[in-house]
Structure 1
Amino acid sequence: MHSRKAKSITGKRNQVGSNVTRVIKPQKTRRIIRRFHHLINKRESICQFLRLNKNLDESNDEKNDKIIRLSIKGDARLSKHYEDGKSQSFNDAMESQLLRLHSLIKNEAKSKNACDLTVMYTLLGYIMNQIDKLGGLETYQIASQNGQLKERGGDTSKLLEKWIRPSFENHSGAMALEIGSLSPENRISRCALFQEVVRIDLEEHEGVIKQDFMERPLPKNENDKFDLISCSLVLNFVKNHRDRGAMCHRMVKFLKPQGYVFIVLPQACVTHSRYCDKTLLQNLLGSIGLTMLHSHQSNKLYYCLYQLQTLLPQPSSFSKRIKVNDGPGLNNFGITL
């Protein structure tokens, strides 16, 4: 028989029930989100090297595991190394290899020896295990939801409201689209500036529609477009630089003339990346007709608000990644159009 109460992630006891929200302490919330992004980015780099990234589904790790296993079906050696990686608990040696992943991939790309792939599949198995131990996408979403609670000061749309209020206070009938929405209780939904806020995410939540933005039908007319698109902590979760660029292009197609795009990224995407900084991001989005109006950098996040201009965008010169920084410990976040 189950007890009447059960422990939450924090160790506190919550009443058992399907509607009970698991609570994660603020310091653990930040740690989970950082760890999750670290693992996802490393997995994306390995899968891109192994040419598996096109088939991965960020919302379904059971499917991802099957895709990886299928890629090594019939190769007993690679299968063994993948399973060995999955059996590894957290250890410094594996973490050190993940930190040096960029160099490892460069070295393996130059090698003609197929047995070098054992390193990649061992690391891939380790990452899959660590994501599973962390709780997968469900725990990441719970951490993000908890981080957005008002009492924790984590709602990224608070700054958005401040920036757009002068433009929308006397604008009746405005429509907003929130990509990657985690809660109908955040500021964008409660600020009373919009007639309707359409909230979508890869997973269904209360008040949030399950929908992949990249599969959302394109607008048939202006009534299907939005005055504002909020894309908070979403682009950095997209698998690769080309798909991020495709997402930016697609957002423009959903905007009304003079519409706004609000983007939030982890600060490291623009301060600690080989292929992106604030200037490059601004110029890249400018090439598709978006002009930056506001930006703000906190200790952890980078916020920016763009507006769609009526002038035709210039031809893009961002079809390939441009290295803007180099050195150890940098990440590979980037966007190409």
Structure 2
Amino acid sequence: MSEPAQAGQLPRILVAGGAGFIGTHTLVSLVQNGYRPLVLDNFSNSSPAALDRVRQITGAEVEAVRGDIRDGNALDQLFQRCADEGAPIECVLHLAALKAVGESSTKPLEYYDNNVTGTLRLLEAMLRAGVMRLVFSSSATVYGEPESLPFQERHRIAPTNPYGHTKAMVEQILRDFCAAQPRFVAVCLRYFNPIGAHESGLIGEDPRGEPNNLFPYIMRTAIGKAPFLRVFGNDYQTPDGTGVRDYLHVSDLADGHSKAIDFALAGNEGANFSAFNLGTGRGTSVLELVSAFERESGVRVPYQVTARRPGDIGEAWADPSLANQVLGWTAGRSVDQMCRDGWNWQKNNPDGYPE
């Protein structure tokens, strides 16, 4: 196992995929909670400019390396360089994944290659370097159709789309790896639906091409880049017929990662694989989210109802009590604040990050 950082040094955390939407907000949280993040990103769906904004928010010189988790040689060199500098990587935060549910159904091989093969290459490099702590960005999509609501961590794993399958596969790989390597600690964070932006308006979601998720599509419609919002189905067994999801503020989610790293570094003896739901425990429908956004932004969002998307489910929300109890984490920001902060980012950055 790699030696911890020398006295007086901040613990160094490798953040794979750290330049993305969730990654940048998590970098802010890590710096604020006394960690020294090192970003590894191939920038396939992110921008180096986002990291400049993180530096502006935190006042910290966040180091970044362009690279891919599927490149074992590059990972070896990075782990070794950090060790040679006397500031070895103590934990890896793995956010490097393709993440669009719809796209995963049309490009499954890309998703399995990046999300599953990439994780295998990362774990192999971690083992060679003796880095034995991992926090993994999983997803509520691992559950699939609910047996009952809210989702609890003990519920069956039965994803309904290739993206969800990749996350479930990685979780199983981590279970098996932890069983084979008792000193290895893995913490899986099952996200529900992160939206919003940092309260500064300097960082936010900047999807390439047409958005795949609801909230950025709402904002794109609000600034006039789309004529209307497509609502995928209004015949679900929900109060208004539209899909219900557990939306949480991305800054709350970011703080969940810091709490998970605290937990992983503490050792977690005797239970070296853990999974936690990160959500609010409250469901919000598509039309309720549109209404909240219109109220907070003062902008009307026209919409048209279209057919359901393959792989979508009607309702999903979390029971976050395990994360509350074990990690000491709670999502505290409201849907209104998510909409307010998201709009503050979008209206001030209508074209996203500068190229």
What TM-score, normalized by structure 1, do the two folds share? Answer: 0.31
Larger Rg: 1
* Structure with the larger RCO, 1 or 2 (CA within 8 Å, 6+ apart): 2
More helix by share: 1
What TM-score, normalized by structure 2, do the two folds share? Answer: 0.30
